[in-house]
Structure 1
């Protein structure tokens, strides 16, 4: 009797509750309309504007192939100003490292556009914007003054000899690339390959370099051209030796 009464009460309860349950919102994760309804998000977000969708992503990704650059993807090409000295990196060649050291001794501030400080009449334009023919004309038009020019301070007789030796056209611009190429010839003449083969020692090679570039010291600590036309070594022998030891370890 008691069980029958309890069952009757529960039946009456559910009969009254079911209409309300039917009207309640029943959500299924498998209902395709579930996420199409207008609901309030836990984290409010707005759709991007047209201008935002056209802007490239600027976030970095640890993985290649993302829209914003990857820490492992190759760097994009960069345009380098034609008078900007080469910035040494871990993959710099031996020649590049030696040229960098010579540039520190010869033209620390002006680099590829350097002109000997004793020149009273400067070239009509920056050296890297002039052709070899125009530089020759400047030399011819300004006698009686020093004419060392460029990152490696080429004097006229050396510049002209190297131009002939390399077969360089006089209409070529005195660009950083050309200056480096001419300097490389001098490195070979100083014994770079001979030193590399072990036929001369590092000190001999360093003295040979000092015999070409006045800003470098010889093993006695002075420039090979000390006192001549105001020349002097712009670094000590110890520093020269330390820098060369880094380039040629062991």
Structure 2
């Protein structure tokens, strides 16, 4: 697998645990967490029991922990623009501080001001409600899995850079490296993305998880395919 090396977030490793050292480049005022108005959630891992089993989920690829993580996903690089396109479907204007609107008991602080351990504690303390959180609306089993892949422990701040690093694991699950190497077609890559992020549409305009746990596509296929073509022009 090709390692993706980005300069803006450096992790130090100690006692077997990597610790993120970058805070958001765009700090927010101290306030209650914003609420994501979207119904979409990350497709859950059926083995964790968060939802009932789902059919035909793509199997995660093996991704080794990477020592450097990506820059904030609001830049102009192709992967940053893809992250922003996904975030548009998942979190809307709430961005990195989004909390799924169905959560009756929300975190007491903005998600970007919490550590992963504090988020896990909030999840454990508030059973029976949705817990999708952050710019990419991570649900608990997904959050724990990708944090483990990255080597992020409970003391890791849930900053913008950390959220982007976690989302990159899922982009690789969808076949990002294969797509960039022309070993995976655009349409199949988009289909794979829609199987991970429920807010993204299939060609029929519906979510892969349409109607499941309140999920629906939050952008049109035209917007999704047009956004992808602007990022990676056909023949470019």
Shared fold, TM over 0.5:
yes
Deviations 1:77-121 (A, max 9, x none): xx9323597544xxx211101000011101112100000010000
Indicate the RMSD between aligned Cα atoms, in angstroms. Answer: 1.6
Instruction: Name the larger-Rg structure.
Output: 1
Number of matched pairs: 169
Unaligned stretches of 5+ residues in structure 1: 1-78
Secondary structure at 2:93's aligned position in 1?
coil
Mapped pair 1:98 → 2:82 = yes
Match of 2:199 in 1: 215
Partner Cα separation in structure 2 for residue 183 and residue 80 of structure 1: 18
Partner Cα separation in structure 2 for residue 193 and residue 127 of structure 1: 29
Mapped pair 1:82 → 2:50 = no
Q: Is the 8 A contact 1:83 1:175 kept in 2?
A: no
Q: Is the 8 A contact 2:114 2:157 kept in 1?
A: yes
Match of 2:51 in 1: none
1:1-250 counterparts in 2 under 5 A?
A: 80-83=25-28, 86-88=73-75, 92-250=76-234
Deviations 1:174-200 (A, max 9, x none): 000000000011111100111111111
Q: Is the 8 A contact 1:103 1:151 kept in 2?
A: yes
Partner Cα separation in structure 2 for residue 215 and residue 96 of structure 1: 18
Unaligned stretches of 5+ residues in structure 2: 1-23, 30-71
Partner Cα separation in structure 2 for residue 245 and residue 235 of structure 1: 15
Partner Cα separation in structure 2 for residue 184 and residue 163 of structure 1: 11
Per the normalisation by structure 1, the TM-score is 0.65
Deviations 1:26-57 (A, max 9, x none): xxxxxxxxxxxxxxxxxxxxxxxxxxxxxxxx
Per the normalisation by structure 2, the TM-score is 0.69
Deviations 1:153-190 (A, max 9, x none): 00100000011111112101100000000001111110
Match of 1:58 in 2: none
Greater helix proportion: 1
